[in-house]
Amino acid sequence: MIIRQETETDFPQIYDFVKTAFQTAKRSDGSEQDFINKLRSSGNYIPELALVMIDDTVYENAGDENAGDEPGDKLIGHIMLTKFGIHGVASMPKNTFEILLLAPLAIHIDYRNKGIGSDLVRDSLKRAKAEGYAAVILVGDPQYYERFGFVSAAEFNIKNKQNIPDENVMILELVPGILDGIEGTVDFD
């Protein structure tokens, strides 16, 4: 298994992959692949924090007598962190505290419940911290994301404009204490 930065040539495959992955997800509005494209085309895209996981041991052409003996590269996971802001923070320039947004985590159905998602989340958070980012926010399942240290953003008096339930808007401090005294609003649109 390889985790690497996504490349522009990956974009069409990632689009189809995310669309397919979310067809079998517990929660989906069916637009996750479009949301990723929207984030990519914004000024908030950070290529170094847009990652894919590849299974480089899969023989994509198994059974094809014309195929070679080299393994293929099968996309099995995708994650993206983009710049994001907590608005209405009086102590910050432009009243915005910059953090990261974890975009939809997508895992191939055949690889779910095998630690692939956890590996991608941990790797992306490690890279984000190394790049100097202070916190990450997301909308997701508390039972899944609490294992990485995410807590309800409401614990820091961070509200959201979409009225998403507090337990699903989660945040993680990459720098302990960085959110002390920070309160404001996030807008996921």
- Residue 90: half-sphere exposure toward Cβ, Cα within 13 Å: 1
Rounded Cα gap, residues 19 and 96, in angstroms = 32
Q: Largest Cα–Cα distance in the chain?
A: 66
**Tens-place pLDDT, residues 41-58:** 999 999 999 999 998 886
Looking up tokens 């990450």 gives 136
* Tokens (6 digits) for 83: 């710049």
Could you tell me whether strands 135-139 and 96-102 are parallel, antiparallel, or unpaired per DSSP bridges? parallel
The span from the CA of 76 to the CA of 102, in Å, is: 18
CA 89 from chain centre, in angstroms, equals: 24
Phi, psi of 40 (to 5 degrees): -65, -35
169-173 and 106-107 as β-strands: parallel, antiparallel, unpaired?
unpaired
Q: Which of 81, 84, 62 is nearest to 71 (CA)?
A: 62
Q: Is 187 helix (H, G, I), strand (E, B) or coil?
A: coil
Q: Residue ranges of the domains in the chain?
A: 2-186
Predicted confidence (pLDDT) per residue in 56-109, tens digit: 886 554 544 433 344 567 899 999 999 998 887 767 767 788 999 998 899 999
Element containing residue 124 per DSSP (H, E) = helix 116-130
The domain 2-186 having CATH identifier 3.40.630.10: the answer here is: no
Is residue 144 very low, low, confident or very high in pLDDT (cuts 50, 70, 90)?
A: very high
pTM of the model: 0.87
